[in-house]
């Protein structure tokens, strides 16, 4: 069981902060994402505290959870944003993030997106190839601007995580090879509409061992020194995100302090402004997906299924990455059963838990799928004609609707006969 200050039982009832999840289920319907504001704020402060001895700037990676109210919560704390597309840039700006605190990234930016970010006045654009640098140069020239760029380096470090979320390995599509850097710097000298402001990396996600960051940072620092000797005064070193969270109490995440202990001294010595881009770390455990048990059934081999009203369209992580999510009864019964918790989508991979010991809840009762703050709502889809759920943010004893449930009309609104 994943018990926290933010989602905890009071007697038999599971609460988010001081609000009963059962009440939220009745008031707003299910499926429903419920986010604890205090959890978001505390995670940000924990991250900042861990790295407080190091001058740095934290940019929340919006792709983990782009709900406007979530972005705004971080922006109000002084946090910046890392965005990956024109759409995410639009969301960050709409949420009230100032452009000088936004980093524009992404492995395949279109010229319109580059123009949009330059016109918005973002802090920097991260470039991932020579062709992209030439494109940014061209667009900046057309707009009569000098584009601040950072180079995303592929440090060729294979971090141990799920293969679909490792990104700093030469087999992967991300970044510029370290060996290519001298040629890129030489080229930059010939592109007057670009100003090199940073070097950047992002080695993957949900990385438990700080040594992968150390190995990659050693490489990044060597390239920083090389750039200096080639006459480039680089202002920022961006270490990326990927810091881990606990999904399964049996596999607790390495505390953020262990990462800070290793990284802060190395980076402090370099005398450069450091940027971090945590996504998952800030949001994963701040939300649950509330879902109602529609039917219980047992098959001829005695296997028990709980069919619920949420599915892979609201949380695709188990299907996509074989991820573990705790599933908890909103009203505890005491006795348990071993069951599969499955959704209504026409796919065998549509499950939240398999052969899991859970409370023997009745049909019509609620379950909370835990740790649904990161890569859940943002990956939701209309597959099977599903309507995207409503989202609620809790603050103490108050619950606020921050995203309405989609309607049938919205499902077809862009279609023409």
Residue 132 in contact with ligand PLP, rule: CB under 6 A: no
> For tokens 């800030």, what's the residue?
282
Please work out, in degrees rounded to the nearest 5, the angle formed at the alpha carbon of residue 215 by the alpha carbons of 242 and 236. 65
Measured distance CA(340)–CA(413) in Å, rounded = 36
Residues 230-259 touching ligand PLP, rule: CB under 6 A, are 240-243
Least distance (Å) between residue 60 CB and ligand PLP:
9
Question: 164 or 295, CB closer to ligand PLP?
Answer: 164
Measured distance CA(150)–CA(227) in Å, rounded = 12
Question: 378 or 387, CB closer to ligand PLP?
Answer: 378
Rule CB under 6 A: choose which of 116, 281, 351, 352 binds ligand PLP: 281
Residue 101 in contact with ligand PLP, rule: CB under 6 A: no
Residues 286-305 touching ligand PLP, rule: CB under 6 A, are none
Running DSSP on this structure, what letter comes out for residue 284?
G
DSSP H helices, 29-159, are: 37-50, 68-76, 86-95, 111-120, 130-143
Residue count (the chain): 417
Question: 31 or 279, CB closer to ligand PLP?
Answer: 279
Indicate the helix (H) or strand (E) that contains 236: strand 236-238
**x/- track of binding to ligand PLP for residues 357-386 (CB under 6 A):** -----------------x------------
Residue 350 in contact with ligand PLP, rule: CB under 6 A: no
Q: Are 397 and 17 in contact (CB under 8 A)?
A: yes
Residue 280 in contact with ligand PLP, rule: CB under 6 A: yes
One DSSP character per residue, 333-392 reads -S-EEEEEEE-SSSSTT-EEEEEEEEE-PPTT-EEEE---TTTTGGG---GGGPPPPEEE
Active-site annotation holder among 59, 79, 81, 346: 346
Residue 317 in contact with ligand PLP, rule: CB under 6 A: no
Least distance (Å) between residue 238 CB and ligand PLP:
8
In this structure, the dihedral spanned by the alpha carbons of residues 296, 302, 303 and 309, taken in order and rounded to 10 degrees, is -10
Least distance (Å) between residue 166 CB and ligand PLP:
11
Residue 327 in contact with ligand PLP, rule: CB under 6 A: no
Question: 24 or 245, CB closer to ligand PLP?
Answer: 245
Least distance (Å) between residue 205 CB and ligand PLP:
3
Residue 279 in contact with ligand PLP, rule: CB under 6 A: yes
Strands 287-298 and 304-308: antiparallel
Residue 323 in contact with ligand PLP, rule: CB under 6 A: no
In this structure, the dihedral spanned by the alpha carbons of residues 156, 160, 162 and 165, taken in order and rounded to 10 degrees, is -40
Whether residue 346 lies in the annotated active site: yes
Residue 155 in contact with ligand PLP, rule: CB under 6 A: no
- Segment interacting with ligand PLP (CB under 6 A) among 21-29, 188-196, 219-227, 274-282: 274-282
Query: Among 320, 358, 318, which residue's Cα sits nearest to residue 340?
Result: 358
Spell out the residues 6+ positions from residue 11 whose beta carbon is closer than 8 angstroms to its own. none
Measured distance CA(127)–CA(180) in Å, rounded = 13
Rule CB under 6 A: choose which of 15, 34, 44, 63 binds ligand PLP: 63
Rule CB under 6 A: choose which of 161, 205, 323, 328 binds ligand PLP: 205
Residue 64 in contact with ligand PLP, rule: CB under 6 A: yes
Question: 95 or 275, CB closer to ligand PLP?
Answer: 275
- Phi and psi torsions of 261, nearest 5°: -55, -40
Q: Which residues bind ligand PLP (CB under 6 A)?
A: 61, 63-64, 82, 105, 202, 205, 240-243, 277-281, 374
Catalytic (active-site) positions:
346
């Amino acid at each position: 069981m994943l018990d926290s200050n933010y989602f905890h039982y009071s007697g038999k009832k599971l609460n988010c902060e001081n609000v009963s999840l059962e009440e939220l289920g009745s008031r707003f319907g299910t499926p429903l994402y419920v986010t604890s504001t205090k959890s978001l704020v505390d995670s940000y402060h924990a991250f900042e505290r861990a790295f407080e001895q190091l001058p740095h700037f934290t940019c929340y990676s919006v792709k983990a959870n782009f709900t406007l109210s979530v972005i705004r919560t971080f922006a109000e704390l002084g946090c910046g944003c890392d965005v990956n597309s024109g759409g995410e840039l639009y969301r960050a700006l709409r949420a009230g993030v100032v452009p000088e605190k936004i980093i524009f990234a992404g492995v395949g930016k279109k010229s319109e997106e580059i123009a949009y970010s330059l016109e918005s006045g973002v802090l920097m654009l991260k470039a991932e190839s020579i062709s992209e640098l030439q494109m940014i140069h061209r667009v900046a020239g057309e707009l009569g601007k000098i584009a601040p760029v950072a180079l995303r380096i592929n440090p060729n470090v294979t971090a141990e995580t799920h293969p679909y979320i490792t990104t700093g390995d030469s087999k992967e599509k991300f970044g510029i090879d370290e060996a290519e850097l001298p040629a890129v710097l030489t080229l930059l000298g010939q592109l007057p509409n670009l100003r090199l402001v940073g070097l950047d990396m992002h080695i993957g996600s949900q990385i438990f061992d700080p040594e992968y960051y150390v190995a990659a940072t050693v490489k990044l620092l060597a390239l920083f020194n090389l750039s200096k000797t080639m006459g480039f005064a680089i202002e920022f070193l961006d270490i990326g995100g990927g810091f881990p969270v606990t999904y399964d109490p049996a596999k607790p995440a390495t505390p953020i302090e262990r990462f800070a202990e290793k990284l802060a001294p190395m980076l402090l010595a370099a005398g450069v402004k450091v940027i971090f881009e945590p996504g998952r770390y800030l949001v994963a455990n701040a939300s649950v997906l509330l879902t109602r048990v529609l039917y219980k059934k047992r098959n001829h081999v005695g296997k028990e299924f709980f069919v619920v009203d949420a599915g892979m369209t609201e949380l695709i992580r188990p299907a996509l990455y074989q991820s573990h999510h705790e599933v908890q009864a909103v009203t505890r019964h005491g006795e348990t059963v071993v069951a599969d918790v499955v959704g209504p989508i026409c796919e065998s991979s549509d499950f939240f838990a398999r052969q899991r010991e859970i409370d023997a809840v009745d049909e019509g009762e609620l379950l909370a799928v835990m740790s649904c703050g990161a890569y859940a709502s943002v990956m939701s889809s209309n597959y099977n004609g599903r309507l995207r759920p409503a989202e609620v943010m809790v603050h103490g004893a108050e619950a606020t609707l921050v995203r309405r449930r989609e309607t049938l009309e919205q499902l077809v609104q862009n279609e023409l006969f």
